[in-house]
Structure 1
Amino acid sequence: MSGAGGPDAAAGVADTSPAPGLEARVRADRGEFSLDMTLSVPAGETVALMGPSGAGKSTLLGVLAGLTGFDEGEVRLRGRVLDRRTSDGSATRRTPPAHRGVVLLGQDPRLFPHLSAHDNVAFGLRVHGATKTAAAAGAADWLRRVGLAGLGARRPAQLSGGQQQRVALARALATTPAALLLDEPLTSLDTETAGDVRALLHQQLAATRTTAVVATHDAVDAVALASRLVVLEGGRVTQTGPVREVLASPATRFAAAVAGLNRVVGTFEPADSTWRAGDLVLPHGGARQHPSLVAVFRPSAVRVIDGSPRAAGEWTARIVRLEQTPAGVRIRTADPDVAVDVAADRAAGLTPGDTITLRVDPADVRLVGP
């Protein structure tokens, strides 16, 4: 008969399984839209949640925070059941938002306008039971940690948008939440300020080992803040995995757009060992000869050339639209759907409906399974 610790404990084998963090299995019906997904965030880790508008990101965060109802499923935090609903919709467990240990921070910092930055942070601590003296000291310490030492006496109206978001972050983290939910927190900030706040978030989430979910449209947020990425589309998870892996091999058109890649579905032709999508033909001599393969390549790897196609990787395409980019112009084409990044002068004279010849070096294309 084994000892109380079990055979592994007797042999001195450590338990390396991740500590329970935030776990959810949720189905929420909203008329024609339905959110049906599972999420697991180990304790101390940050997961990025990405998806197009209307995918269900905010609905999920609302469920996790206890602000939004759902029809079936369960939400757990550190092994404790926060909410549970059976298949008939009846709630067998319901924890109010104030008692969950979860903080939701969105685009709006939601600071009290009549309180100073210091008092806004201290208020959060007082609500969680800190004495007046301890709350004052904690607020001062957190304002220093977020780079606002000396600005504690200012009210929100006297602070910039980035400074207000820093105060909101200080207030959130000062209460040592079991989980922090971030709903597009940087969207309303200018690029430089967003970069500063993003760096601060990365630093403080790592320092405090806070379990966090970051809903965002920006791949930079995922890369800078998260270890894992969950792609949510139409209320369903379409891809999940380490951030680098998901961005390198996007499984959907949306994920490819986020990663800044073209994703073209084609077929393998065994007769001549080629991959084809419309008029685009690429050699494929590898071992992976799945009948349906996906070509992944960067828009900057495609060039507009003169004349007709003459070699593998050259094809004609119809321009669908032109989009301005910081570096020039992005040409969108059809049959297949491909984005091409060119300098502005190279796009001069081109209009939607024109037919152009394109070239991509086969060496710049990765062919992966669907």
Structure 2
Amino acid sequence: MTGALGEVALDARVVVERGGFGLDAEIAAGPGDVVAVMGPSGAGKSTLLGALAGLVRMDAGYVSVGGRMLDAPPATRTAPASRGVVMLGQEARLFPHLTARDNVVFGLRAHGVSRAAADATAEDWLDRVGLAGFGRRRPAQLSGGQQQRVALARALATSPAVLLLDEPFTSLDAETAGDVRALVHDQLGATGTTAVVATHDAVDAVALASQLLVLEGGAVTQHGPVRDVLAAPATRFAAAVAGLNRVPGDARSGVWRAGGLALACDAGDGPVAAVFRPSDVGLLLAEASGRPAPAAATDPAPEAEPGAEWIAEVVRLEQTPAGVRIRTREPDVAVDVAADRVAALSIARGSRVRLRVAASVVRFLPGSART
């Protein structure tokens, strides 16, 4: 996770113990790299960024930026303002009594820039983030997206060694978030800024980052290039981020099994996870006897090629932009179905359904015992 020439802009191992929660995570990034950090709520994403920014005290480990050791408990600790690390969170946190331009100027002046140079630089950055002519407005006169643009300008104007973004688009509506995300992407690329983005949204990882680090229960469960992690998720959470089913099972004598699901498998004997898309699973209602409902109720899916069919119980329904995601158990499999079909079949929690998946759409990840 370093730059092309092996340089390391950020190198850290963060160990924090707080009230029964433990975080022990390593992270590294080269100059200009953007690392996305994803994990379920409570995994430690904000704690990790807080420690890198110097806002959370570490119990052990180290933080090095540009070869300069910032933290190495208990002997070394650098104050947040002296680290060259800037954090941008969900809220813009602008000074309400200052104009947009003066909010940007404030950061520059704090770094010793003259007033005249700071004014000119602030105007330039407001123009870069699409706010030319907005310099005299105060935060209360700006929309949430505009405030976040000012905060980004203030952060990047000081040329930070590392920029930390903690769920920066969560408080914005989808359209505004998309615009600001594109702006962040362009400005990080233009300035070559090293950044760490903590997010719950896979779009952030795909649109902004070159590397993806998955954090679960205070530990790193997977890291690597974004496309590699999403193509071969090592845990159920990572699979959910990638929009995939990941079903741990066991392969023996050329057959992989998990609950009532069995498929031919040439991955060798031992723990193996099957990976396939929820949209690739066919569904029809099953009677208590296990007999299928009438053929007219069948959801379109590959039928002509070898695969597997099994009976499963519905545990919950989730709304998706394209319809409904049906969650089943034994094994835990998600199925994407059009909303009108769910209504027609009267599928609800506790319903028994017959599922079908074609062998050609299933990939196997050998040696993968994680859930």
For residue 40 of structure 1, what is the aligned residue in structure 2? Answer: 28
- The TM-score, its normalising length taken from structure 1, stands at 0.91
- The TM-score, its normalising length taken from structure 2, stands at 0.91
Question: Structure 1 residues 16 and 317, CA, compared in 2 at 3 Å: closer, same or farther?
Answer: closer
Instruction: Select which of 160, 169, 186 maps to 2:143.
Output: 160
For residue 364 of structure 1, what is the aligned residue in structure 2? Answer: 361
For residue 11 of structure 1, what is the aligned residue in structure 2? Answer: none
Question: Structure 1 residues 74 and 306, CA, compared in 2 at 3 Å: closer, same or farther?
Answer: closer
Residue 276 of structure 1 deviates from its aligned partner by 1.1
Residue 18 of structure 1 deviates from its aligned partner by 1.8
Instruction: Select which of 229, 236, 249 maps to 1:266.
Output: 249
Identity percentage of aligned residues: 65
> What one-letter code is carried by the residue in structure 2 that aligns with 1:96?
A
Which SS does the other structure have where 1:187 is aligned? coil
> What one-letter code is carried by the residue in structure 1 that aligns with 2:89?
G
For residue 116 of structure 2, what is the aligned residue in structure 1? Answer: 133
Q: Deviations over 1:294-329 (max 9, x none)?
A: 011111111113664897321110011111211111
For residue 3 of structure 1, what is the aligned residue in structure 2? Answer: none
Q: Does structure 2 conserve the Cα–Cα contact (< 8 Å) formed by 1:26 and 1:72?
A: yes
Structure 1 segment 340-351 matched on structure 2, within 5 A: 340-348=335-343, 349-351=346-348
Q: Structure 1: which 4+ aligned runs deviate by more than 2 Å? A: 305-312
Q: Deviations over 1:108-130 (max 9, x none)?
A: 10101011111111111111111
Question: Structure 1 residues 314 and 166, CA, compared in 2 at 3 Å: closer, same or farther?
Answer: same
For residue 308 of structure 2, what is the aligned residue in structure 1? Answer: 313
Q: Does structure 1 conserve the Cα–Cα contact (< 8 Å) formed by 2:249 and 2:258?
A: yes
Which SS does the other structure have where 2:52 is aligned? helix
Q: Does structure 2 conserve the Cα–Cα contact (< 8 Å) formed by 1:18 and 1:43?
A: no
Does 2:213 match 1:201?
no
The count of aligned residue pairs is 347
Does 2:93 match 1:114?
no
Q: Does structure 1 conserve the Cα–Cα contact (< 8 Å) formed by 2:86 and 2:155?
A: yes
Structure 1 segment 154-193 matched on structure 2, within 5 A: 154-193=137-176
For residue 24 of structure 1, what is the aligned residue in structure 2? Answer: 12
Which SS does the other structure have where 1:313 is aligned? strand
Q: Deviations over 1:233-258 (max 9, x none)?
A: 11100000100010111111111111
Distance 1:206 1:363 in 2: 39
Q: Does structure 1 conserve the Cα–Cα contact (< 8 Å) formed by 2:252 and 2:269?
A: no
For residue 325 of structure 2, what is the aligned residue in structure 1? Answer: 330
Distance 1:36 1:217 in 2: 20
Does 2:320 match 1:339?
no
Residue 93 of structure 1 deviates from its aligned partner by 1.1
Q: Does structure 1 conserve the Cα–Cα contact (< 8 Å) formed by 2:285 and 2:352?
A: no
Q: Deviations over 1:84-124 (max 9, x none)?
A: 11xxxxx2111111111000110010101011111111111
> What one-letter code is carried by the residue in structure 1 that aligns with 2:64?
R
Distance 1:113 1:135 in 2: 19
Which 10-residue stretch deviates more, 166-175 or 316-325?
Answer: 316-325
Distance 1:95 1:329 in 2: 50
Structure 1 residue runs of 5 or longer lacking an equivalent are 1-14, 86-90
Distance 1:294 1:215 in 2: 27
Distance 1:132 1:155 in 2: 19
Structure 1 segment 292-311 matched on structure 2, within 5 A: 292-305=271-284, 308=291
CA RMSD of aligned residues (A): 1.5
Residue 56 of structure 1 deviates from its aligned partner by 0.8
Q: Does structure 2 conserve the Cα–Cα contact (< 8 Å) formed by 1:106 and 1:184?
A: yes
Distance 1:149 1:82 in 2: 36
Distance 2:263 2:365 in 1: 13
> What one-letter code is carried by the residue in structure 1 that aligns with 2:53?
A
Does 2:264 match 1:283?
yes
Residue 16 of structure 1 deviates from its aligned partner by 6.1
Q: Does structure 1 conserve the Cα–Cα contact (< 8 Å) formed by 2:185 and 2:207?
A: yes
Q: Deviations over 1:40-59 (max 9, x none)?
A: 11121010001111111111
Q: Deviations over 1:115-161 (max 9, x none)?
A: 11111111111111111110010000000000011111111111110
Distance 1:16 1:350 in 2: 52
Structure 2 residue runs of 5 or longer lacking an equivalent are 293-302
Question: Structure 1 residues 62 and 186, CA, compared in 2 at 3 Å: closer, same or farther?
Answer: same
Does 2:72 match 1:84?
yes
Distance 2:255 2:179 in 1: 47
